[in-house]
Structure 1
Amino acid sequence: MKERAVPRALIVLLTGAAAIVILAGIQAVSSIVGPLVLALVLTVAVDPIRDRLARRGAPHWLVVAVPFTVVMVVLFAMVGVLTVAVAQLAALVPDYGPQFARLTQDMQRLAAEFGVAPELSKAIQSLDPGKILTFAQALLTSLIGVLSGLLLIVILLLAMSLDAPIVSRVLDAAAAERPAFVAALGTFAHRVRRYLLVSTIFGIICSVLDVAALYVLGVPLPLLWGVLALITNYIPNIGFVIGLVPPALLALLTGGVRSMILVIVAYMVINLVVQSFIQPKFLGDAVGLTTTVTLLSLIVWATVLGPLGALLAIPLTLLTRALLIDSDPAARWSGALVSGEIPKAREPSSPEG
């Protein structure tokens, strides 16, 4: 048996080093890569509209204009809603300074009565209401900062919309010679569209229920927190917690501990029922990623691209999987480690008779 020319350990080390270098390079140009990936995901999302128009014999300019217009409306609506939300939150924060000061004093008094260490008392005293209540504001402002570069996003979207019919014809022609690569890209597009569709529908359902619960409990700006819940729904694993923290803290300031507990319970029940029991039945294996890979992808892409990387963690990981794993038939067991699905055994070729 012929020995392997390059040790497997060396291959793993070189692959890891190359990944680190590539991620560092992406981080260095994140201001370009982030909008580029966002434009790609949005272009893929509206591709069924383009295909339907083309099948009905619509003129080329209409095939390009309609999907592009749909994406532009969604983008500008998102920027508008986020801008109004940040403005409302900025106006609300100063009003709750006295309540937070009283809450801090009560916590210090309780810490002293129970003989808690002085260090904890100092930590409580150092709490700044501005830093806590502006958590959601900082998140939304970061998203606006990304989306405010609309000129670059619009240019990229327009270019991709113009090239989409050409790329589709090229992929159809290449299917005969590169079937695995074309199939991998097709699977990526299908999974991204299904992920966005299901996440959006159930995100809206959760947001409406959250707004209703916050309105009943008397928490200020329930619509703002509903928008935040919808946005954080695209962040896997920890998005629910990010969307819960600001309204829970505001409920603590306005209604006390009981109000905060009710908000937490309401959010947990809504999240458990909708996102843990109902949504997976519709999403199924559309993503094709294990829980560990999903969590790692969130950490990696959020570190590399910031808030936009957290929102696009799943599409980015699906694109990476399509280019590096799904397009290579020899990497089917690597794909199994990523997706958790055991590949089917290859049928042995029949001997020539």
Structure 2
Amino acid sequence: MKIHNPFRVAILATLGVGVGLLVIVSIQNLSTILLYVGTALFLSLGLDPVVSFLERRGLPRWAAVLLTILGVLGVFAGIIFMVVPIIVSQITQLITQIEGLLQPGKWNEIVTGVQEWVTANFPWLRIDEVWAGVQHWFSTLDVGSISTMIGNSLLTIGGAVAAGLGGAFIVLILTIYFTASTPSLKSAVYQLVPASKRARFIELSEKITDSVGYYVMGQVSLGVINGILSAIFLSIIQAPFPAVLAVIAFFFSLIPLVGTLTGSTIIVLTCLIPGLGSPTTAIVAAIYYLVYMQIEAYVISPRIMNRAVSVPGSVVVISALAGGALLNLLGALIAIPVAASILIIYREVIIPRQNER
């Protein structure tokens, strides 16, 4: 290929690179806003099956949307005014207990007991020198500096919580808007497709949005079930801070594949903290969550997720890891429905075209 005007080509290439860099920088600067919008779209697709269910029961669209939005607002208000004060109170107690455990006298007692047990059962380890160094380090700890460190951490956590609540409020408003305007948004997107291919595009799009919606509702339902059962069970066995641990169980259940296991491990380890729980409580909790995970995997989850697209286990792992690496927790959450959407396109479009050749 002959280049008749190298200067013009260089100018165009430079402008192209500049526009590309500008787009990348703009996306980075707008990453938080894009995250809010993506989360709201994801949640609105999850609420769409509820709206459709109410419409099938004879309610007009506006009434179904209104009831759904009121339900979401009720849940949001209930979490803020009922659950949050209990969680804050129990977190304060937990921090107080941890601060007490960090006092040199308490740690010396714990370290001495562990040292005696390990020396009696594993004399070949010769850990006397290691324990002596650990005891010396804890004896030099300043309780005042520990309190200051904990106070600074609490301020940091408080700022993060305030920012999170602000972001949650923005996502809530966007979710309400997207839920109310889902048909018009879909219609606007469908109009961009040529008329000859519009019917097929609408069919695939409806399958994808339905799959995403059922997945979101199913995952939230699993989280609610795990959270409620955890709150009841942990209260019965008198585990430390059952409200906080139940919230942990709920949020980790939203993470596909490994969420329930991770949350259960955190709960069991919390029950082992000296002065808060006991080995017996931890063992009972571990047995309960082992049984619950089996029931969830083979009984609860198949019945709740029967209308969502099934995704092979290997694809779940790979997509969750990739999504987590790109968008952290949100990426891990939306990775499975995205993978399901790709599978729908693969099964409904690519495979039939290959079979026609």
1:248 Cα deviation after fit: 1.9
- The residue that corresponds to 1:201 in the other structure is 221
1:51 Cα deviation after fit: 4.3
User: Is 1:297 aligned to 2:319, yes or no?
Assistant: yes
Give the conservation status (yes or no) of the 8 Å contact 1:24–1:304: no
User: Is 1:35 aligned to 2:36, yes or no?
Assistant: yes
Mapped partners of 1:290, 1:230: distance in 2: 24
User: In the superposition, relative to structure 1, how do residues 329 and 178 fare at CA in structure 2: closer, same or farther (>3 Å)?
Assistant: farther
- The residue that corresponds to 1:318 in the other structure is 337
Instruction: Structure 2 unaligned segments of length 5 or more: list them.
Output: 1-22, 150-155
- Kindly provide the CA deviation profile for residues 227-282 of structure 1, in whole angstroms up to 9, marking residues without a partner as x: 22122111122212332234323322334322222211111112222334442244
User: Is 1:45 aligned to 2:46, yes or no?
Assistant: yes
**Matching residue within 270, 288, 293 for 1:250:** 270
- The residue that corresponds to 1:149 in the other structure is 167
TM-score by length of 1: 0.67
- The residue that corresponds to 1:274 in the other structure is 296
Matches within 5 A, 1:55-66: 58=60, 62=63, 65-66=66-67
Amino acid in structure 2 at the alignment position of 1:318: P
Mapped partners of 1:348, 1:233: distance in 2: 42
3-state SS of 2:73 partner: helix
Mapped partners of 1:263, 1:329: distance in 2: 42
Amino acid in structure 2 at the alignment position of 1:70: G
Q: Which moved more, 1:177-186 or 1:268-277?
A: 177-186
Number of residue pairs matched?
308
Mapped partners of 1:270, 1:30: distance in 2: 38
Mapped partners of 2:281, 2:344: distance in 1: 49
1:163 Cα deviation after fit: 3.2
User: In the superposition, relative to structure 1, how do residues 139 and 26 fare at CA in structure 2: closer, same or farther (>3 Å)?
Assistant: farther
Identity, in percent, stands at: 20
Instruction: Structure 1 unaligned segments of length 5 or more: list them.
Output: 1-21, 132-137, 333-342
- The residue that corresponds to 1:339 in the other structure is none
1:209 Cα deviation after fit: 2.9
- The residue that corresponds to 1:169 in the other structure is 187
User: In the superposition, relative to structure 1, how do residues 245 and 106 fare at CA in structure 2: closer, same or farther (>3 Å)?
Assistant: farther
Matches within 5 A, 1:83-98: 84-98=86-100
Mapped partners of 2:47, 2:26: distance in 1: 29
Mapped partners of 2:329, 2:311: distance in 1: 21
Q: Which moved more, 1:262-271 or 1:77-86?
A: 77-86
Mapped partners of 1:181, 1:190: distance in 2: 14
User: In the superposition, relative to structure 1, how do residues 86 and 293 fare at CA in structure 2: closer, same or farther (>3 Å)?
Assistant: farther
3-state SS of 1:218 partner: coil
Mapped partners of 2:60, 2:234: distance in 1: 46
Matches within 5 A, 1:115-194: 115-116=124-125, 118=127, 145-170=163-188, 177-194=197-214
- The residue that corresponds to 1:74 in the other structure is 75
TM-score by length of 2: 0.67
Give the conservation status (yes or no) of the 8 Å contact 2:48–2:179: no
Give the conservation status (yes or no) of the 8 Å contact 1:181–1:326: no
User: In the superposition, relative to structure 1, how do residues 76 and 116 fare at CA in structure 2: closer, same or farther (>3 Å)?
Assistant: farther
User: Is 1:228 aligned to 2:248, yes or no?
Assistant: yes
Mapped partners of 1:268, 1:250: distance in 2: 16
1:197 Cα deviation after fit: 2.9
Give the conservation status (yes or no) of the 8 Å contact 1:180–1:327: no
- The residue that corresponds to 1:11 in the other structure is none
Give the conservation status (yes or no) of the 8 Å contact 1:183–1:327: no
- The residue that corresponds to 1:338 in the other structure is none
User: In the superposition, relative to structure 1, how do residues 50 and 240 fare at CA in structure 2: closer, same or farther (>3 Å)?
Assistant: closer
Mapped partners of 1:53, 1:203: distance in 2: 23
Mapped partners of 2:256, 2:349: distance in 1: 26
Mapped partners of 1:112, 1:290: distance in 2: 49
User: In the superposition, relative to structure 1, how do residues 241 and 281 fare at CA in structure 2: closer, same or farther (>3 Å)?
Assistant: same
Amino acid in structure 1 at the alignment position of 2:230: D
RMSD between aligned residues: 4.4
3-state SS of 1:40 partner: helix
User: In the superposition, relative to structure 1, how do residues 203 and 237 fare at CA in structure 2: closer, same or farther (>3 Å)?
Assistant: same
3-state SS of 2:197 partner: coil
Amino acid in structure 2 at the alignment position of 1:116: L
Q: Which moved more, 1:293-302 or 1:101-110?
A: 101-110
Mapped partners of 1:205, 1:154: distance in 2: 23
1:284 Cα deviation after fit: 3.7
Larger of the two Rg values belongs to structure: 2
Amino acid in structure 2 at the alignment position of 1:204: V
